[in-house]
Amino acid sequence: MSFSPLVSELMEALRRLPGVGPRSAQRMTLHLLQRDREAARRIAAALAAAADRVGECADCRVLTERTRCDICSSPRRDRGLLCIVDSAADVHALEAATEYGGVYFVLKGQLSPLDGIGPEELGLDVLERRFAAGEVREIILATNPTVEGEATAHYLAEMARGHGIGVSRIAHGVPLGGELEYVDPGTLSHAFAGRRHYE
């Protein structure tokens, strides 16, 4: 028996989420429509509002409803200290696990020439302008310790040094091939505190 067109459409929409396969999408759809229509309406309303009103911070590219996020607009943050991460999830992980007092820049990926992801795709021209403005004195490279993450870190380090900016790298208490958002807070805090000068 096949599902009705609207039910099938909802299943297909849910499958676009990372980690959601056909069976998971079917379970979610049936749960929402058979057992919790109020949750379905709340999810739909929240998703529509977020899709319409959430954008990126003009400075760091974290998701926010305002022009600048809470971190970038805080006068207590040291704008000369810039931590560069792969994703907005990494910002949240570092904020929860460390007492970092600087600001961030979210790459939204890693350099991967084989996949067609170069400096332009990561918006490194925006970062270059920020370096040229002279406000940043040190960058902390907190890219994931994968092959692509290391290549990205190397590229960013060279870019920063070209502007006379100091470069450090978080310590590798984070396992090689791991992703920051899945590392436990203790390990992440130790790795961040033990960052080293990047060569």
Shared-domain flag, residues 45 and 107:
no
Q: What is the mean pLDDT of residues 135-151?
A: 90
17-66 pLDDT, tens per residue? 999 999 999 999 999 999 999 999 999 999 999 999 999 999 999 999 99
- Determine, yes or no, domain membership for 69: no
What total number of domains does the chain contain? 2
- Determine, yes or no, domain membership for 64: no
CATH of the domain at 31: 1.10.8.420
Q: What pLDDT is recorded for position 173?
A: 63
Determine the structural domain holding residue 141 and report its residue range.
Answer: 74-197
For residue 117, is pLDDT > 80? yes
- Determine, yes or no, domain membership for 188: yes
Nearest CA to 22 out of 11, 7, 37, 6 is that of 11
CATH of the domain at 89: 3.40.1360.10
Instruction: Specify the pairing of strand 55-56 against strand 166-169.
Output: unpaired
Shared-domain flag, residues 103 and 193:
yes
Q: 19-28 long-range CB contacts below 8 Å, 24 or more apart? A: none
Q: What is the mean pLDDT of residues 158-172?
A: 90
